[in-house]
Amino acid sequence: MSKAILALEDGRIFEGRAFGAQTERVGEVVFNTSITGYQEIFSDPSYTGQIVVLTNPQIGNYGTNEDDPQGAHPYIEGLAVREFSPRASNWRSSLSAEDYLAKCGIPIASEIDTRTLVRHLRSGGVLRGALSTVPQSAEALIDKARNAPSMTGRDLANVVSTKKIYEWTESVPRVSSSELLGETLEPRHHVIAYDFGVKLSILRRLRQYGARVTVVPASTTAEQTLALKPDGVFISNGPGDPEALDAQAAELRKLIGKTPIFGICLGQQIVGRALGCKTFKLKFGHRGGNHPVLNKLTNRVEITAQNHGFCVDPDSLPASEVELTHFNLNDQTLEGFRHRSEPLFCVQYHPEAAPGPNDSLYLFEDFARMMDEYRR
């Protein structure tokens, strides 16, 4: 086996064994604490521009399949794990995790001391890195890490977004891979879903709760959206810095009060900026399927799936217009808010999970109920 090197911009080096594509890639090095669901993580468009470290010690053991991907292909720049299994053992597996990543040019570094690496990122904050599975000096990789693009100010949502409008027509099975979808309601709402990096499981959930879904590019104007006669608008997750999307926030501002709006993850940040608030970069972000969030409306704790590196500044939201509804119990950051007079609410986490818990699925039902009430 050849050697893999992960070099960080601060000069820290981690060496391991090489799997996947024989290449080198740069990106922001982040970590995810999920226990399972690595294929969904690989294929989540929100990881564009990032090298992902998984804290679960063994990755690849159950392979990959055709049902679980959340996007058209893997979006991560590279993968660092403690132990990578090139052999898959699962009745649903159709391709090994190594082949799945290798065919898209993604390198894998195994036998990395992920415990030390994650503690390093938690202490100092996320860093840019360079991951190589081809012969390369550590000094050269450190230099490449230092010259990699910063996530701050970077517009990646328009890169991954669909380039044309399309109807989401995939049938929704009752049971599908990691998602227990249950009964699908007959379509009664027309939802326009803004694609800033939308996961397929989100579209399935919207469909499950009675929506006919039209997916539109991130650059779609308010006038174009209203011309499609929506019963509601959904603002999706996605990669990059929300400050780079102020043009999209300006268009969203025109939709507030004209149709019900539901945003998640990057969608919450864009909604916040549409209301005039500020956003900021977290030290190391929230990524994983085990983040506790307090719902202030019910006083209940939800275990949530999250994947974001930026956050809305609650002090910059207009208190007369916005009610703060959800808070992260680990660091007290804002996880959700709703408008006091207009049909608009959003959360910072992923209520559709995949992978992750289903504690927050009620939000899709809340969105459907909001559209019903607005229609009346």
Blockwise average pLDDT, block size 10, the chain, 376 residues: 94 97 98 95 98 97 93 97 94 94 97 98 97 96 98 97 93 55 85 97 93 97 98 98 97 98 98 97 96 97 97 96 97 98 98 90 96 90
Q: 350 CB contacts (<8 Å, ≥6 apart)?
A: 199, 202, 237, 264, 265, 304, 305, 306, 307, 356
DSSP 153: T
Tell me what pLDDT residue 30 has.
98
Tell me what pLDDT residue 356 has.
87
Tell me what pLDDT residue 175 has.
47
Tell me what pLDDT residue 42 has.
98
Reference 239, options 49, 43, 35, 13; nearest CA is 49
Where are the domains positioned within the chain? 3-146, 157-375
Class of the CATH domain delimited by 157-375: alpha beta
Task: Cite the beta strand spans of 81-185 per DSSP E.
Answer: 83-84, 107-110, 127-132, 166-167, 175-176, 179-180
What is the DSSP secondary-structure string of 264-331? ETHHHHHHHHHTT--EEEEEEEEEEEEEEEEETTTTEEEEEEEEEEEEE-GGGS-TTTEEEEEEETTT
Q: Is 350 considered catalytic here?
A: yes
Sheet holding 344-347, edge to edge: 166-167, 211-217, 189-195, 232-235, 261-264, 344-347, 334-339, 322-328, 279-295, 300-312
The first and second tokens of residue 22, run together, are 């024989």
Annotated catalytic residue, options 189, 265, 302, 311: 265
What whole-number distance in Å separates Cα of residue 184 and Cα of residue 205? Answer: 9
Tell me what pLDDT residue 170 has.
79
Tell me what pLDDT residue 172 has.
63
Q: Is 352 considered catalytic here?
A: yes
> Are the C-beta atoms of residues 321 and 284 closer than 8 Å to each other?
no
Could you tell me how far CA 351 lies from the centroid of its own chain? 11
Question: Between β-strands 334-339 and 322-328, what pairing exists: parallel, antiparallel or unpaired?
Answer: antiparallel
The domain made up of 3-146 has a fold known as: Glucose Oxidase; domain 1 (3.50.30)
Which phi and psi (to 5°) does residue 311 adopt? Answer: -150, 155
Burial class (CB in 10 A: 0-12, 13-18, 19+), 296: middle
Tell me what pLDDT residue 119 has.
98
